[in-house]
Structure 1
């Protein structure tokens, strides 16, 4: 772990310990001699990976988004990286102890990397990993390898459709970003696909940013809504906004795909 991360985690440990002390809690680890250290546990994680197609050939420039596998925790910190010319990527993070990380692999350049590939969600579990070099609060470092196979995209639509990206930021009335805000729609735009276990369309990250995509055949109005993530309080007035997808400019149509478009939808929430 580099010095910057180490100093950050040490500072966070001291801050958390101080807050817990003020609240009347004690977070301490004591050795047999009775010496206690205050702080919070952390560990170093490393994932070495490779993205290939069904023939085993590497795929370059695939975007990999890595976060905690639990959606209620994943919004706190998401790292984004890209595969190199050999389809490889490497990720490291010093973090509070986690069991499993979620990896979302997206083909962001369409045909430029040898074809268009379907987005895939995969998981890497450190539950049984071999952590080395642990101490009182430091649980050690572990490294795992993974290979992700992406299927080539096949358009199975039987009617004209369009692909949309909706993105934006949620801030409070003082201009500060608001994380842990759930973004949903009416009617629901949650993907209705086998194996989709997510109950959230999007959750704003630590910078208040969110993004989601949808593939629509029927062009109509949808209401974009904000709500607090369960367990994070509700001291702000939530907002919603109606958007008409028919008014979003499209480009890059091909075959049954009319085109692709995007729209920025921002929210400013006021204190109750």
Structure 2
């Protein structure tokens, strides 16, 4: 009798252990599935001097923990230097696409560039040259042929948006506006509009870039007049829009979307004395 009782107890213990192991296993799977992955890594590039350079990374899910930096060979200790958004470098992250742009590369931009997104890392070697050698010319012809063949094969494919413009962006005065959209293939032509008026690329504070299927708009030192509805027309039938609101950081901003109720109560007077240095 005692032996039978012991066996039942052992059986119950085994069942309980199985349940515990099963739960532990499920927790582990959920933890792994929540981690971010790089699905498009950086690739080595050879770029002509004064040309624009774009490095594109794509991840399995959105993240705002993106850091770009370079490995400076001239540095005595071979330390890395973090890259920030300025007039030369343009950094942008929209959903799962993260882009780094140099408007016009110089010879001293020949470096290894890294992109760290949370716990993942990818890098590429960038070489800037004065002029194309015979080898590079042959390579370029080969790439052009492949590109032409690709465009020919996908000529009949319907142009579709993969990453549209963000619905709304709010910036402070003198900030830099960077937006981009991506299609499933290179569009035949791209046009940018603000409030249905064509944007001129001749403007000193405006730059546009087109890297295959990615179209980018950059506005420097924005002000209140830059607020409006921005539209990117891709091809003949595809378009995407973004509402841009520029606020004066020196003024108090009141969110009009918050409902305000009239309170029928006596008003109390508040007297303030402000000392302002001129």
TM-score of the superposition, structure 1-length normalised?
A: 0.29
Which structure features the higher share of helix residues?
A: 2
Greater strand fraction, Structure 1 or Structure 2? 1
Greater RCO, CA 8 A, separation 6+ = 1
